Amino acid sequence: MRPWGYAPSLLLLLAAGAPAGKQIVLHGNDNGAMPCAACHGINGQGNAAIGAPALAGMPAPSIVSTLNTLAARPSATAPMPSIAAALTPRERRDVAAYFSSLPKPAS
Ligand code: HEC
């Protein structure tokens, strides 16, 4: 097999991140993560009334690292630690890819 034979499938895999992330953002996952959109808004615009920050247009790496930090935070009462912990590392990257692909909310 030519070494570059894998390139197209690798690209497909990377591009698949955002749609998989959208699924989780809108519907949650089977591991108890609530849909992100319920609090952060369908367009990732956030919801000031409940203190959920906007995630749209945020760089994916910073979303992933925040989720990793939240998931590792023990016994926090806020909703995010348990939600973050319910996401696999792959799912954290997928939701981050999706949110970062959305246009930043005008504020
Ligand atoms: C029940 C409401 C709720 C749901 C559902 C929810 N969040 Fe949050 N999220 C919050 C609140 C409130 C904060 C701010 C307080 C905090 O950081 O705990 C927050 C903070 C965050 C932050 C930190 C943003 C920053 O700028 O500090 C990230 C990233 C995040 N959420 C991602 C997600 C993702 C991804 C999902 C879906 C898997 C999700 N949230 C689902 C309420 C929610």
Q: What is the pLDDT of residues 25-78, one digit of tens each?
A: 999 999 999 999 999 999 999 999 999 999 999 999 999 999 999 999 876 678
How far apart, in whole angstroms, are the C-alpha atoms of residue 86 and residue 6? 31
Contact 63 CB / ligand 1 (< 6 Å)? yes
Ligand 1: residue of 83, 88, 98, 102 to mutate (most ligand atoms within 8 A of CB) is: 83
- CA of 99, closest atom in ligand 1: 35
Query: 11 C-alpha vs ligand 1 centroid, how far in Å?
Result: 29
CB atoms within 10 A of CB 47: 13
pLDDT at 77: 74
Tell me: pLDDT of 10 over 60.
Answer: no
Tell me: pLDDT of 107 over 90.
Answer: no
Any residues with CB less than 8 A from the CB of 3 and at least 6 apart, and which?
none
pLDDT at 18: 76
